[in-house]
Amino acid sequence: MMKYSDIKVSGYSRVVRVIEDKSGLDAIISIHNTNRGPASGGTRLHNYKNFKDQLRDVLDLSKAMSYKNAFAELPYGGGKANINKKNIKDMSSALQYYGEAVNKLNGDFLTGGDIGIGKDQLTLLSQVTKYVDRADVPGDYYTSKGILLAMCSAWKHYNNKRNFENTSVVIQGLGKVGYKLAEMLKDYGVKISASELDKKKHDMLYSVLSYKKLDNKDVTQSYCDILSPCAVGNVINQYNVSKLKCKIICGGANNIVNGYKPINYMHKKGILYIPDYVSNAGGTISTSLTIMNKQDDIEDAVYSIYDNTKLILEMSSKENKPPLVIANKLSEERMYVA
């Protein structure tokens, strides 16, 4: 039997925990805000140590989706869900029960893929719930392209140079987004260094891209023009921020920076942090416009990431506030005035 219980969290529209013992399903669906429309965000399948870690992750991610969708002026609110992979006994059954839980929200939450949830899992979910996105759009490509545009904009702001050739970029994580980004950067003549936890993938991609290999623990302390975390979040924190040797941080991971202490430190030191929900919005934009049957608008909408980055950095310089503070203010205006 599926257990369906609400968790009260201040500032969130609704947070629900879903447990089904036989399949091992242990999921949390977090709806942060629905002012612009139904909450939209992927479902993550991940090994969490405990409920506290799982809850914190889904709350952070769903809030970030509210800001991402609002900043991009999409007609969606912010939501996210996660499933604790370590508890799963029967994946197929667990996903079916999870789909039923999504149905119970009556369209307030629209979900799609994320870490651990790919095409096969989405196909299974779509057989149970209509509130799952299977839009046939190269979201990873547009996510990577958006990051590249944000980098170009930030680099021009930093030193007033359009030429990206010989710029040094460190990429953490060569998954779908990180790898596509590396390919794009190579075409620009950028000097690429990268880390990847999967050694076999590291060796295979190295032979194709010929980048400098880095150990994951050395990424945040590497000398480079731009650091691009494209794997897990919370890469920059109060303990390692003082060791940064980059000029710009611009990546594809969600919630790259943990807390406002490192945000304020980077601002004082002149390190430009491009809010991740601005730089990695390309995939969300392309998927949303596909669902809305506005495929012809995708290229222009994704290119707006360049202009949005420019706007944030110019306002940051003028007001002497961190770019994230500026972006949050703009997102909240669009979120609550919608």
Active site residues: 80
- Residues near 267 by Cβ (< 8 Å), separated by ≥ 6? 273, 316, 321, 322, 323
Classify strands 43-46 and 168-172 as parallel, antiparallel or unpaired.
unpaired
Number of H helices, E strands in the chain: 11, 13
- Contacts of 29 by beta carbon, 8 Å cutoff, 6+ apart: 14, 15, 16, 18, 58, 79, 81, 101, 102, 105, 109
Pairwise CA distance, residues 126 & 135, whole Å: 11
- The tokens for 226 are 């731009």
Cα angle 101, 32, 308 (rounded to 5 degrees) comes to 125
CA atoms within 13 A on the CB side of 178: 25
CA angle at 128 for the pair 123 and 131, rounded to the nearest 5°: 80
Q: CA dist 209 to 194, 201, 229, Å?
A: 10, 12, 18
**Strand 39-40 vs strand 109-110: parallel, antiparallel, or unpaired?**
parallel
Task: Report helix, strand or coil for 203.
Answer: helix
